[in-house]
Amino acid sequence: MSEPLIYELSVPGRHGTQPPELDVPEYPLPGDRVRQTLPLPEVSEVDVVRHFTRLSQLNYAVDKGIYPLGSCTMKYNPKINEQAARLPGFVGLHPYQPVETVQGALQLMFELQEYLKRIAGFAAVTVQPAAGAQGELTGVLIMRKAQADRGETQRDTILIPDSAHGTNPASTSMSGLRVVELPSDERGNVDLEALRSQATDRVVGLMLTNPNTLGLFEEHIRQVVDIVHGCGGLVYGDGANLNALVGVFKPGDLGIDVMHFNLHKTFSTPHGGGGPGAGPVGVAEHLADYLPAPVVIKVTARQDAAQENAAETRYTFYDPPRTIGRVRSFWGHFGVLIRAYTYIRMLGGPGLRDVAENAVLNANYLRSRIREVYHVPYDRICQHEFVAEGRFADAPDVTALDIAKRLIDYGVHPPTYYFPLIVHEALMIEPTETESLQSLDRYADILLTIAEEARQDPELLHTAPHNAPVRRLDEVQAARHPVLRYKRET
């Protein structure tokens, strides 16, 4: 089915360029300074174009089909985002330029801060952190410094539910704090008893993902926030799942003290395959002075009292007085900020609300289409994603991994698997709002077909994928001894 991968296209003497006629006297370069042989491929233009086009088609991409990786919000990235990011006035900027010469860029950063404040209900926002995980680290450092300023240096613990994303305990440990894991109750919420028993004066705060990685809205969120505040702790919101809430609900209104946004999830912009992303952090009023420096502010100065309306507006950088310092060189991932800004401006408030409503509708539609065949352990109305089990009582040796690999044979991307850890053989499915009814139906049909195959021909699943450019990979070897570039056999 797939054509063999041919890398050796070089033919001696073939080339793809026509140098102009020599119109200056020929002058030999000193022999010892010039390499006599350079092992470059000798290929024509068409060879090169076909080679790279073929390679690009071996990849799966969100521009090719559904990409329902739970927790990752792999939504379609509108092409206008890319056009905006490539505007010459943005592309040509240098980070060392004086602020007077980059007013447009600062205006964009300022307005993005303002939009994010309004979207999530925070008093202040920094757009500096480079990713969600770095936003978490930033947030934890802010919480710690604010408490240290109150003399509460004995606080050394962050509470994290067992359904949390791996970056939560990782960023907490990096900040030097202790992690205590909280169990989930039978409905997938934070176990309130366990939370109460841990709520002491050693708690810096709770990291709460809402909706959580089961795709479920925390049903006791008000109590959770009150218990944490009751012991003097702060609530960190992991905002990676904002796609379920954007335009509908503001986490800041519920008393969340700090939250990161994943611009590369909720606000489209490309990610996967390693980034780049951006993880702005929003804070409540009482933490605004601790944000990383600098933030962008707008200064309006009256030029002349006689001309009352002649106010001059400019943008500049500002160091908050109790800042934790810098978390990222220069001004963050500016290209991602442009894309998110464009996305927000294109959709507007009502459009963002449509995003959340359709993301939730799509996830619930897919869940209801497969739930009789794939067991859904926390089976209630979900938010933007849900977690099913990839195992069947009457096909006991088929695993979630087998199902994921078999999906590739049907030309679609598998969901996230084996996460969250609290579900056996987890298949975590997040279709996003950008999938049509037809696309959702096709995915559901494929999953149901695979469940049939699991019973009739389990070997077909164990040996999948059959049609992909590469078969099942040895993921341990791939991690330990990665082969990162093609080497010609000699």
Ligand X SMILES: *Cc1c(COP(=O)(O)O)cnc(C)c1O
Tokens of 456: 């009739």
Minimum separation from the CB atom of position 196 to ligand X (A): 24
Q: How far apart are CA 80 and CA 343, in angstroms?
A: 8
Smallest separation, CB 269 to ligand X (Å) = 11
> In this complex, which beta carbon is closest to ligand X, that of residue 113 or of residue 243?
243
**Is the Cβ of residue 163 or residue 198 nearer to ligand X in the bound state?**
163
Q: Give whichever of 131 and 258 is closer to ligand X, judged by the CB atom.
A: 131
- Residue 470 has what DSSP assignment? S
* Cβ closest to ligand X, residue 315 vs residue 334: 334
- Least distance (Å) between residue 94 CB and ligand X: 26
Closest distance to ligand X from the beta carbon of 135 (Å): 8
Q: How far is the CB of 418 from ligand X (least distance, A)?
A: 15
In the bound state with ligand X, the residue whose beta carbon lies nearer, of 168 and 399, is 168
Q: Which residues of this chain interact with ligand X, rule CB under 6 A?
A: 71, 131-133, 165, 167, 209, 213, 238, 240-241, 262, 277, 279
Between 259 and 444, name the residue whose CB sits nearer to ligand X: 259
The strand pair at 386-389 and 426-429 is best described as antiparallel
3-state secondary structure 157-186: EEEEECCCCCHHHHHHHHCCCEEEEECECC
CB 290, min distance to ligand X, A: 21
Q: What is the nearest approach in angstroms of ligand X to the Cβ of residue 424?
A: 20
Residues whose CB falls within 8 Å of the CB of residue 473, separated by 6 or more in sequence, listed in order: none
- Cβ atoms of residues 206 and 228 within 8 Å: yes
Q: Please enumerate in sequence order all residues whose Cβ is within 8 A of that of 170, keeping only pairs 6 or more positions apart, or say none.
A: 133
* Residue whose beta carbon is closest to ligand X: 132
Rounded Cα distance between 430 and 490, Å, is 46
Could you give the CA distance from residue 239 to residue 263 in angstroms, rounded to a whole number?
A: 10
Asked whether 229 and 222 are in contact (CB, 8 A), the reply is no
Sign of the Cα torsion 125, 138, 168, 232 reads: negative
| Distance separating alpha carbons of residues 400 and 417, to the nearest angstrom | 7
Q: How far is the CB of 58 from ligand X (least distance, A)?
A: 25
Question: Closer CB to ligand X, residue 339 or residue 391?
Answer: 339
Phi, psi of 144 (to 5 degrees): -65, -45
d(CA 163, CA 160): 8
> In 378-417, which ranges are continuous DSSP H helix?
400-409
Euclidean distance between CA atoms 193 and 209, whole angstroms: 18
Closest approach, Cβ 215 to ligand X, in A, equals 11
Give CA–CA dist 119/266, Å, rounded. Answer: 11
* Count of other CB atoms within 10 angstroms of residue 241: 28
Kindly tell me which of 189 and 209 has the beta carbon lying closer to ligand X: 209
Task: Of 462, 438, 446, give the one whose Cα is nearest residue 411.
Answer: 446
270 or 465: whose CB is closer to ligand X?
270
